[in-house]
Structure 1
């Protein structure tokens, strides 16, 4: 829709009843916006609030934009919530014939719910997510349900929207759905969904449209799920395939150049750590494991998950002193998973800053009494990390050693 400048006379045609409007305030607002000095965002908002009463079609969109911009400037979560709430109210006041009114409303609601979760106002945030879901934006509600331990509801919601055989469904949606199904105890259905992820990764890798590393990470997660479901033969086949791909990478390197795909590895690593975490509840939410940690998790949950690192560091120090090896191995892995998330999302990603955590996991698992299962897991964890930093020969060596403790019938 074409918007005319505020000083042009044709705007008068969009005015409502101005009998109760302070015309001096209107004039001051116009002068301030047209002055040589650029107004602050707070001053812009005050001016647009006044002018929106005079010419809503022109100034309501400007007011909504200014409110969002001001929110990003403030560090106070409650002030951010208030500004986002006003932005929603402003968009609701748009004329019905505004072509993209509904889309703008959905965007405003999305910003509002994000601000509510950042301010730890989950009940209100969930209510906004429910409104978004009614309008077809169901993704955030599925995440919130999973964060609160309502995995069956999350799986059902995703299942109603992810059509069987739909080629347009992203792998992220399928991973999220499979994770919700698995957490809800629907293991066979979860395997069926995750098999679609693996099959698509195979097709892309065969056509050189995706790196082999991505397929290996998915095969390793698939093998974990097959083991949990009590299907050792299928698990062995998945691990043989992954080992063969790692051998190919060790010999000739990655056939496809890639960058910035570590989020896929971290998402699956964090998902693999779910059994070591307490059960999520509405009163004690946890991340929606299997969802992209940057673009998917609610900000309050992500903040608390990363903030738990210092406490876990203190806990592992105490377990080292006590000599509780099984407890130390479990706590150290939880710590490593969180460090990996922080490493991937920090943007720095120096190998030497994270590798010691995986090395320590392997060293602990080699102690007598740790058990072969612990060593296989630690070696596999380090192998997947080495793959993420393109240390292909070392990644292959670790995975091959882990294979001696896992059901791989033949090696390639």
Structure 2
């Protein structure tokens, strides 16, 4: 089918081949990450001259970033993420896109920079996000937008989950960067099974962390965060109740990170800041920007960054 689409595109003098995105997702689910990244390289190159469009390039860049990350091309993934942030900033400045999407892109970029140990760049991006969130808390969006911002947030969370848990090539898994709506049935099943297994690991580790925090507490904080992110990605479609369903998990994660901060004054504050920014992002996805700003400000305080 892809060969047919390529032949049609060539005959029409059209660089954009239909089906590449779906092909890349299938390759990713099968653990063929390098091929998936090559396919997305082609797709982004064909789309980029057309500009942002109606968000097409932004959603495609999310898939591209994920494919590059899984293929072990971190520098390319970071460059693609920077392109996404720059594009969302330009769209918001021209009133062609929501400020919230720019905020979510910045928050995702911070997570990737931190995951790769790029602390100085992450701190600068956090300051941009803080300024943007301050504006949203003070005045809200500059105009009304449809509700796709939350789906954008959820797809960015799939990337955060990917940093926390390396991809496994032995079985089909949901492609990072893609929301559950675009997962195959087998990948959906694997995701559900994975969440159940992760919840069991969290529950089994909790009493050990209480008895021996030196050995287990940091691991529990990390596992709980992974479970929370997975649950948020899959719970985002519960339109009216998603915050009520997810907030207890985020609160629990913040409480665990506070315990770690008291126990480990070196690594604990960074883990607490990450948990607070995660919860801030949840509030922002629900357009509850006051609590989102409060959590973000508290995170910066724990990182000893300007507020």
TM-score computed with the length of structure 2 as normaliser: 0.83
SS at match of 1:308: helix
User: Using a 3 Å threshold, how does the CA distance of structure 1 residues 353 and 200 change in structure 2: closer, same or farther?
Assistant: same
1:364 to 256, 271, 281: 256
Task: Return the offset for 1:226.
Answer: 2.5
Q: Which residue of 1 aligns with 2:287?
A: 390
* C-alpha distance in 1 between matches for 2:242 and 2:4: 42
C-alpha RMSD of matched pairs (Å):
2.3
Q: Which residue of 2 aligns with 1:48?
A: none
Is contact 1:226-1:234 (8 Å) kept?
A: yes
User: Using a 3 Å threshold, how does the CA distance of structure 1 residues 206 and 344 change in structure 2: closer, same or farther?
Assistant: same
Hey, which of these two has a bigger chunk of helix by percent?
2
Q: Map 1:254-333 onto structure 2 (within 5 A).
A: 254-258=141-145, 259-281=147-169, 283-294=170-181, 296-323=182-209, 324-333=216-225
Is contact 1:306-1:338 (8 Å) kept?
A: no
Q: Map 1:3-18 onto structure 2 (within 5 A).
A: none
1:236 to 118, 123, 141: 123
User: Using a 3 Å threshold, how does the CA distance of structure 1 residues 331 and 234 change in structure 2: closer, same or farther?
Assistant: closer
Q: Does 1:153 align with 2:35?
A: yes
List gaps (5 residues or longer) in structure 1: 1-127
Q: Which residue of 1 aligns with 2:69?
A: 182
The number of aligned residues is: 281
1:170 to 29, 33, 57: 57
The C-alpha deviation readout for 1:64-111, integer Å capped at 9, x for no partner, is xxxxxxxxxxxxxxxxxxxxxxxxxxxxxxxxxxxxxxxxxxxxxxxx
* C-alpha distance in 2 between matches for 1:172 and 1:234: 24
Task: Return the offset for 1:292.
Answer: 3.1
Task: Return the offset for 1:227.
Answer: 3.0
* C-alpha distance in 2 between matches for 1:139 and 1:157: 8
User: Using a 3 Å threshold, how does the CA distance of structure 1 residues 315 and 160 change in structure 2: closer, same or farther?
Assistant: same
Is contact 1:133-1:141 (8 Å) kept?
A: no
Is contact 2:161-2:230 (8 Å) kept?
A: no
List gaps (5 residues or longer) in structure 2: 9-16, 210-215
Identify the range of structure 1 (209-218 vs 271-280) with the bigger mean alpha-carbon deviation. 271-280
* C-alpha distance in 2 between matches for 1:232 and 1:271: 18
* C-alpha distance in 2 between matches for 1:299 and 1:130: 24
Q: Moved runs in structure 1, 4+ residues, more than 4 A?
A: 128-135
* C-alpha distance in 1 between matches for 2:45 and 2:242: 40
Greater C-alpha radius of gyration: 1
Q: Which residue of 2 aligns with 1:340?
A: 232
SS at match of 2:263: coil
Q: Which has the higher contact order (CA 8 A, sep 6+)?
A: 2
